[in-house]
Structure 1
Amino acid sequence: MSVNQIMFIFIYILFILKINTIYGFDAGFIQLASARQENKDTTHYGMTICALCRVTLNFLKSTYNVDTTYLDTKFDETNGQCDGNIVRSIINLLRTSQMKGINPWLYSITVNTIASANTKTDLKEMFKEASHFDSESFIGGSKLIMKRYQSTLDAIRKSDNYDQGRKTFGEMLHTIQDFYSHTNYIELEYTSPSDVLGKRIFQENEFASIETKTCISCDDEQCQINTNFDQIIQKTKLLTSGYFIPIGFNLLRKFKPKGKCSHGGSFDSTQDDEPRGGINKDKL
């Protein structure tokens, strides 16, 4: 690697970090154009906050028999969104209920720590394919989820380090969310969550091999309206994900394998390589 290439990479990373500082960078999820009826896009942060609040209410209802009916209406179960004031509403509920052993003010810190750790994974582990299920890293991604789940438990049970447990848990959630956004799991018309994630490691016969063609070319919105997955992938129900090489890093002579899908998006240098387009369901 030449000195110029090293300098380019260094400047590129500083640029991304600057964007995060100024704009609060958070990749999220965009509805497929074919299903869009209204603005129902969401982000890693927003989706995580809503999921944690949903679990909290279920816990309060089942464990403390708390009536949460009026808060249940604040969730849209179809897209993972919720009312913007849901955390404040739960804090008020915790305060008025006066349940022993529960600190209402710590709740806000807890959910924000988890959600922030989730968001920061995109920057801290930008080039770690397993963290995002990029480049068909199904074995690495499923291993990472199991590892971080166990690390979360160890941080709490063995080290009494709840803060680290929250952060590791948030990072794990990021990888789980990216599985659905970066792969073709949704396009294969599965209607329930994967029974692999967090339970075992993907087997090689469950996803496309390096030699298998996975995509055909598409352009712009056509990539969302008409699927650009190769027919063999649809018929065999093999999982695949897009290859992602950040703009500039293709100068290092890195290319996606022939016939493979691109991740797509403004930061992906492979989106104009055949087959063109991208399969991710992210939104910046």
Structure 2
Amino acid sequence: MATTGLPRTTLNDLSRVTESLEMLAPRWSVWALMTLSSQPLRYAEIKSRLPWLHDGQLHPRLRHLTDAGVVERTEYAPRHVTYGLTRRGAELMPVLTVIATWGDAHLEKDLVRNKTTGEMEPERIPAAENVEDALTLISPRHATPILWTLKSHGAATAKTLAVEAMPGYGLTAVYKPLDRLVADGLVTATGTGDFQLSASGQALAPVFQTVSAWAGGRPLADAGAHPLWGQGPAPSQARSAPWATTQTRLPAPTAPAVPAAVPALATTPPASTAWKASDLFSHQIPARPIAPAGGPRR
């Protein structure tokens, strides 16, 4: 990938981040990674924790993650094979924590009645679902380059975004991904022909900081010093906004446990995270995933 408006070092960084997001984006990949976060498991043990996935769905996810170097397949005997996180896979867990934190704070939620107080409050979303839903917004082709270009410029026209984030595609090609980012609440139109990051788009900074650090093999403790996303938003861009996406969430299969709160983002993410079943799920697992109530899920 190449663009013309960002420094070469930033372009290399952007390329690594984009590839990392694409690696995580295929559906159920995050669920599989979180399931393996505490210990290596045999295939049957993984399947029992993700029972709605057929072999034709689970096998490709494990193979994809193994090929990506974040899951290791160990064969002890023909019928004794385990899957576990590699060192790189374990280092990815705190990054997923950061993505889950952003999703919990910025993705849409239904209001549900608290059974204890009777008050209406936002529903509690499983961490794995928050991560997956966040990835559906920033992993599509051209989405992250557009966001990074807007972060660099503060505000930019569609023509500038087409030239710098999508070189070689022409002006008309930028409108579809740009309109999607506007509809999802990550980008706003200024009314003067320019576009800029929304408050939710600016809040992606910790996500891109930590993904960048992980993709570059750097300590997550240094993530906040990112040359682009380490900068704060301009005052005119720090505005309140509704939930970051108008897309209907797909209800996730869940397990019989009350979900633990997603850890709040600290300056230095934890060195590793072991995700429990209560982090992945929120209530009884259905035999199959529930179909989306609205339009198609991205």
TM-score (structure 2 length as normaliser): 0.28
Q: Please state which structure has a larger fraction of its residues in helix.
A: 1
Q: Please state which structure has a larger fraction of its residues in strand.
A: 2
Structure with bigger RCO (C-alpha 8 Å, 6+ apart): 2
